Structure 1
Amino acid sequence: MTSTEASTKPGGARVAIQKFGTFLSGMIMPNIPALIAWGILTALFIPVGPFPNEGLASIVDPTIHYLLPILIAGTGGRMVYETRGAVVGAFAVMGAIAGSDLLIDAFNEANPPVDGGAPLGYVHMFIGAMILGPLAAWVMKQLDKLWDGKVKAGFEMLVNMFSAGIVAFLMGLLGFYVIAPVVNWIMSIVGGAVGWLVDTGLLWLASFLIEPAKVFFLNNAINHGVLTPLGTSEVATDGSSILFLLEANPGPGLGLLLAFSIFGVGAARATAPGAAIIQFAGGIHEVYFPYALMKPVLIVALMLGGAAGVATNMLLGTGLAGPAAPGSIFAVVVQAGLVGVPNVLGVLLSVVIATAVTFVVAAIILRASRKRDLARAEAGDDGLSAAVAKTEAAKGRKSEHLSNLAGGAAAGGAATGTATEAGVPAVASEPIRKIVFACDAGMGSSAMGASVLRSKIKKAGIEGVEVTNKAIANLDGSEDLIVTHKDLTDRARLQNGRATHVSVENFMNSPKYDDVVTLVGESNQSE
């Protein structure tokens, strides 16, 4: 193993939850456009919408009940075993959907609603899709390994087709008899808990879990595993859901960055205004995480700001028609606008209040420690470089403004002694034609890093080199060089052990990129 390939080994519960959340994101994020389209349709044309239309509204239920779970299951299956995995995963979730519906119908027949009450509603099998899609694909993959190379010539297609059909059939039965009742039970517990928080006016307490989870990149499991399915179900009946705003509200991050812009010191103060623009307008929330980790007590400010925003939306009855992805103020306004102008005003007020509360609390904390911060800055350590290293554990960085801060972060990273700071290999074992920037979700900051390196390679006059970005889970072994954050390199190496792996502290401004350009140029000249 080269020094470039070595990195700090991930481990522990935090990394396990990160990986789990990453996998959930990989299933949900590609299907967000379908969720948005469904949200627009629902917000406009259901009976409580501004333009009730019985015909168009008839598309709503089949989409949420069948299409969206099938898309998610297919995506999860594809992540595990490409097209074969997608097919068996998509079919398997149909068993869970049908089994869940049968159980709900049986319950409603045995327990008819009284006093005009509504019957128990169907469970939309999002969680079932997240279970069965990858599981069915994994089973298919393992079975294919059993007879790989053992099938007589001419019978390959027959075996492939029938084996996949049989696996899909069996996994559908598993979904019908096992997964459906389990998911129904899970949703009844989770839905009941969320309903209790809403009914008792305590939903704002969720911010005390979500805001710290965001800073440590543990929010994906909550957001995509729970909030999105529950929020989507609410939209189907109410036209909007407050749950989409629990994590996406850009107010807390903006308030924190504004506080640093005024009361911060050194690099933190210099870079905070630019980071605020990217976070608020671009929706890339991770740019404020290093600032919170500089002083972990600032997470309290984020929790209080988030709670204030949720409380405001609860009092006003406001929400979004679909997930705001990314969490930009523009995406939030668009999704709020589908519900109506009063809803937009309420949502904007929740953003303003969340910003103000976070700003005030963060300002108090920063002012209280200002003398110590100034002393550290004069000594050449403002704490931000170490915070950047901690923060880029999952998604990297997304801001040219943050690149000012990255200069210090890179220097600090070099002093940490991680093996990857030894530098880029001087010689490549084979020509480098395909470079991939890999992170958890495969978008956001890794895309920006790919753009930076692509520009450097173009300026160097190197042709025939592809520079792209993708999620670590989607690495397929064809990559020649993979760039990851140092905390993710081991996971990337598991996906592709052949490639040259370069670990960085900051996607946007790593000093290693010039070395990578040199390496790529020399490797292609040696062909």
Structure 2
Amino acid sequence: MATTTRPARSGGMRLHVQRFGTFLSNMVLPNIGAFIAWGLITALFIETGWITTIGDALGYSGGYGFVEDLGAWGSGAEGTGIVGPMITYLLPLLIGYTGGRMMYDDNLRGGVVGAIATMGAITGASVPMFLGAMVMGPLGGWSMKKLDALWAHKIRPGFEMLVNNFSAGIWGGFLAVVGFVVAGPFVQAFSNLASNVVDVLVESNLLPLTSIFIEPAKVLFLNNAINQGILTPLGTTEAAEVGQSILFLLEANPGPGLGLLLAFAVFGRGAAKASAPGAILIQFIGGIHEIYFPYVLAKPKLIAAVILGGMAGVATNLLFGSGLRSPASPGSIIAVWAASPPSSLLGVTASVLIAAAVSFVVAAFLLKLDKDDDGDLTAATAAMEANKGKKSSVSSALTGARTARSERPIRSIVFACDAGMGSSAMGASVLRKKVHGAGFDDVTVVNKAISNLTDDYDLVVTHEDLTDRAEQRTGSAVHVSVSDFMSSPRYDEIVEMLKRTNAAPTAEEATAAAAPDGAAVPGRQATAPAADGGLARLTGDGNGDGSDVLAIESIVLDGSATTRDEAITEAGELLVAAGAVDPAYVQAMHERETSVSTYMGNRLALPHGTNEAKPAIRRTAISFVRHPRGVDWNGKEVSFVIGVAGAGDDHLKLLGRIAEVFVDPEQVARLEAAQSPADVLAVLGSLQPA
């Protein structure tokens, strides 16, 4: 029993470390541009920067007043520099804001409170407060989310802004004090201790031994916890004190991976040899180190090559006294050179070349010694993705068309939009019906806001204006763009793609999946229709007290709007009149429309607010406005405008039923002929849940 539980326990520990590392990197990586900006300003303008170094080399005897002012670490009486304030305030505040926003489901309130809390930690210590930001930022966002949940939907109308602003201010101020008194001193003590440990390793010439842990950790995707949690904060602190840090190169040096891939390109065989040249470009120039991990997993003994290469690179930097001014992310040679100060450029370059040479010699020796083939690169790539916990965006470069994104089995589909409460739910419902109707019941079709996407889906469907944003979050997925949510021909193309990539369903399964609800087919239990036709699910208790999802008062059969913006306002004001949203939500509906059109197709528009406007929603509700004369909606004619306010997920089934109505010409005709709000409810309520 013990032997069977140990692997699971080990895998569980590795998974937790990976998740923790990913959490840290998600706070740091979005702000890497700011780190690079600080590094470039430092490299150019400080006293030993590129401008003064080149000027002195050319014999320039004038002053460097402007340059010295920009590169000064202080401000005011100490100078007009921006180097010091950027690392002291800007970078930690960005991390704290990002962490707080992450913990509050991408809500700006969490980011603001996280930044306030981080400011307390910054002023409570004398070292750059990156570790403090990684603690106080998420704490601020998480705690603000919990507090808001205590009085959600309990605030009297008209007092929402007062309560929201003061609660964030009061709680943020409290956390700032906690950061100043507790987090700042604690993190400074930890930083001092960690710096002393690094100093001991450097003075004892033991720092190269860290590659014994770092290189295997990279292959197992544990590097984020080490790099973002320890090396980047300590390295930035050291760079602020002495102008550079060797810690930035312990993990980011592209030399070990370059040497390994060169060995496969020269001495490898089969698919490994053929794919190695392309992998070199991705790794060395693109900076994506994970491209070489499957080569190590295919032949685990090659871990010795990258370990020894890493150790050689660290030893070279120690010998030259070289380092980087800021993190090199991604680990491209271009990023490494850009972050190198003038005095370290030679040493940094030598460390990359020597690391590559050592890794190449060791890997070549091991490959020549091994008479077997180069292992199953496809299986190794799958193992690498299992270690990573998600698909790799560069795996197709190793395994070719066999594992190309468009040819992999598709098990999960997500329909993503800006807010995740309206158009994506409608599109997902239509697509789900088609996919399951074709017999692919094992394929999940869900909807999400783009800000909540993770790179865990096989196929992502978005409006054509949002595809670029979705690709940034789900780079390893197949992406399909649509312009018409209700009747896009791309849905049929997706079904055809499933037929190519997935095992085709049997005739019996296809018949069962395609059968309408309530029909009896072998092996499938018939579903009896609800006695009330589903009307109660749509209208709540039907008592007319305004608590219905679609109240009678929120149905207008002859809309007065003549333009798109007027139609949005009309639908939004019905939601306000029903007590479902604050007046500010109507403006958010207009903001959403300027970002991406809410035209669904089949003469239907579904205006709704932005993701940031969700606090203005008091309860889930919709409004229905028919425009017999039609409204011009960005060049498309719209006859039906349904305003949506979704407080949670309870409106999604309703939107699914609405989607079923508008893909059925007979149901649309009934809505066109409706003489009263009750007739509309009869149509929308007659469907089973999606």
Report the CA distance shift for 1:192/1:498 in structure 2 as closer, same or farther (over 3 A): farther
Q: CA deviation at 1:239?
A: 2.2
Q: CA deviation at 1:271?
A: 1.1
CA distance in 2, matches of 1:45, 1:24: 30
CA distance in 2, matches of 1:240, 1:212: 26
- Give the secondary structure class of the aligned counterpart of 1:55: helix
Q: What residue is the counterpart of 2:359 in the other structure?
A: 358
Compare 424-433 and 236-245 and name the one that shifted more: 424-433
Compare 431-440 and 62-71 and name the one that shifted more: 431-440
Corresponding residue to 2:68 among 54, 72, 90: 54
Q: CA deviation at 1:461?
A: 6.8
- Give the secondary structure class of the aligned counterpart of 2:233: helix
Q: What residue is the counterpart of 1:439 in the other structure?
A: 455
Contact 1:24–1:130 under 8 Å retained in 2: yes
- Aligned residue identity for 1:41: I
Q: What residue is the counterpart of 1:453 in the other structure?
A: 479
1:404 maps onto 2:399 in alignment: yes
How do residues 288-327 of structure 1 correspond to structure 2 at under 5 angstroms? 288-327=292-331
- Give the secondary structure class of the aligned counterpart of 1:453: strand
- Aligned residue identity for 2:285: A
CA distance in 1, matches of 2:317, 2:85: 29
Report the CA distance shift for 1:223/1:131 in structure 2 as closer, same or farther (over 3 A): same
Q: CA deviation at 1:307?
A: 0.7
Compare 169-178 and 128-137 and name the one that shifted more: 169-178
- Give the secondary structure class of the aligned counterpart of 1:132: helix
Q: What residue is the counterpart of 1:236 in the other structure?
A: 240
Q: What residue is the counterpart of 1:159 in the other structure?
A: 163
Q: What residue is the counterpart of 2:371 in the other structure?
A: 370
Compare 189-198 and 42-51 and name the one that shifted more: 42-51
Whichever structure has more helix as a proportion of its residues is 1
CA distance in 2, matches of 1:172, 1:124: 16
Q: CA deviation at 1:310?
A: 0.9
Q: State, as a whole percentage, how many aligned pairs show the same letter.
A: 51
Corresponding residue to 2:282 among 278, 281, 305: 278
1:144 maps onto 2:148 in alignment: yes
Post-superposition Cα deviations, 1:191-235, rounded to whole Å, max 9, x if no partner, equal: 111111122222111111111111111011111111111221222
CA distance in 1, matches of 2:99, 2:146: 16
CA distance in 2, matches of 1:263, 1:430: 45
1:383 maps onto 2:376 in alignment: yes
Contact 2:396–2:403 under 8 Å retained in 1: no
CA distance in 2, matches of 1:446, 1:165: 32
Corresponding residue to 1:97 among 119, 122, 132: 122
Corresponding residue to 1:265 among 269, 273, 287: 269
Corresponding residue to 1:247 among 251, 254, 265: 251
Q: What residue is the counterpart of 1:42 in the other structure?
A: 42
CA distance in 2, matches of 1:224, 1:190: 14
Post-superposition Cα deviations, 1:50-104, rounded to whole Å, max 9, x if no partner, equal: 436431122221111111111110110111112111111111112112222xxxx
How do residues 15-30 of structure 1 correspond to structure 2 at under 5 angstroms? 15-30=15-30
CA distance in 1, matches of 2:288, 2:664: 40
Count matched residues.
433
CA distance in 1, matches of 2:289, 2:650: 31
Report the CA distance shift for 1:446/1:150 in structure 2 as closer, same or farther (over 3 A): closer
Contact 1:386–1:413 under 8 Å retained in 2: no
Q: What residue is the counterpart of 1:85 in the other structure?
A: 110
- Answer with 1 or 2: which has the greater Rg: 2
Report the CA distance shift for 1:526/1:171 in structure 2 as closer, same or farther (over 3 A): farther
Q: CA deviation at 1:138?
A: 0.6
CA distance in 2, matches of 1:45, 1:245: 23
Q: CA deviation at 1:128?
A: 0.4
CA distance in 2, matches of 1:497, 1:292: 47
Q: What residue is the counterpart of 1:256 in the other structure?
A: 260
CA distance in 2, matches of 1:175, 1:144: 21
Contact 2:377–2:398 under 8 Å retained in 1: no
Ranked by relative contact order (alpha carbons within 8 Å, sequence separation 6 or more), the top structure is 1
- Aligned residue identity for 2:296: A
Query: CA RMSD of the aligned region, Å?
Result: 3.9
Corresponding residue to 1:70 among 93, 105, 126: 93
- Aligned residue identity for 1:43: A
TM-score by length of 2: 0.56
Flag structure 2 segments of 5+ consecutive residues without an equivalent.
Answer: 1-7, 53-63, 73-80, 414-431, 438-442, 457-468, 492-595, 599-610, 615-647, 653-659, 666-690
- Aligned residue identity for 1:55: D
Compare 176-185 and 395-404 and name the one that shifted more: 395-404
- Give the secondary structure class of the aligned counterpart of 2:476: helix
CA distance in 2, matches of 1:456, 1:358: 47
CA distance in 1, matches of 2:650, 2:257: 37
Contact 1:286–1:395 under 8 Å retained in 2: no
- Give the secondary structure class of the aligned counterpart of 2:330: coil
Q: What residue is the counterpart of 1:200 in the other structure?
A: 204
Q: CA deviation at 1:126?
A: 0.5
Q: CA deviation at 1:369?
A: 2.2
- Give the secondary structure class of the aligned counterpart of 2:454: strand
